[in-house]
Amino acid sequence: MRTRRIGDVEVSAIGLGGMPLSVEGRPDRERALATVRAAVEAGVTLIDTADAYSMDETDFGHNEELIAEALRGLGSAGGDVLVATKGGHTRTSGGGWGLDGSPAYLRSACDASLKRLGVDAIDLYQFHRPDPGVPLADSFGAIAGLLDAGKIKQAGISNFDPEEIKLANEVLGGRLVSVQNQFSPAYRSSEPELELCAELGIAFLPWSPLGGIGKAGELGELNSAFAEVAAAHDASPQQVCLAWMLAKAPVVIPIPGSSRPESIRNSAAATHLELTTDELARLG
């Protein structure tokens, strides 16, 4: 497995997105745990989770607890994994989603995540999504406070535009280490954020890089160029997609979600796929 960096930590160039293991349509617990084990066995040392990855408000924190259980079962290998979690999203009855970026909520959410993950300090804590009801500087300031208090080791943000990224880094005193935005062949509007992160040396973590839950299998059908390049390399369109992302900048670390061991093994192998300059130009 090739590696890249998030702040001062070296991680696998491809991570595992934990969301599909806990939301609607999630696998049974044994398959979910097996998926995490398969990821680590394939060399993955970055797992992305969030307190809001659950069916609804009744099992809030499900994914964090699941990831923590899986890593405990792996012994020392599990201890080598950087676990990134997020706070600021809430769940409502009926499977709805809400927002709370208030400093008080973010502090309490971090404390709850610490307990669910069973750690003294969270490896990477990310403000999940802007809350229109709270000034961004206040939310970012709360994250800075968690850093100062030693409750989190590194800080990131998710779903923000370039100007908001610059503000976050300013409020954090230059300590912003990651930005997690949606990016895929079908969703390329985060190119400006990717380019800014490359300029600043901040890790860019594309979420839903293969198109989102339940859509990864259609990637080759929806994007013929990826299927054609895959055929030339005896690879899958999904592997070509991840290799294409990795080639965009040294700061890019895709976090494909997976609910099956086979899927994450396939994704992890993409770090060994080298695409030519002509192929990259063809993919865009």
- Judge contact between 145 and 173, C-beta under 8 A: no
- Judge contact between 167 and 140, C-beta under 8 A: yes
| Catalytic annotation, pick one of 53, 105, 125, 187 | 53
**Bridge pairing between strands 46-48 and 16-17:** parallel
Query: Hunting for tokens 């062949």 — which residue is that?
Result: 185
135 Cβ contact list (under 8 Å, min separation 6): none
105 is catalytic: no
- Judge contact between 63 and 70, C-beta under 8 A: no
Q: What is the DSSP letter of 39?
A: H
Alpha carbons 100 and 139: distance in angstroms, whole number: 9
Alpha carbons 265 and 258: distance in angstroms, whole number: 10
Which tokens belong to 8? 């001062």
Which residues participate in catalysis according to the annotation?
A: 53
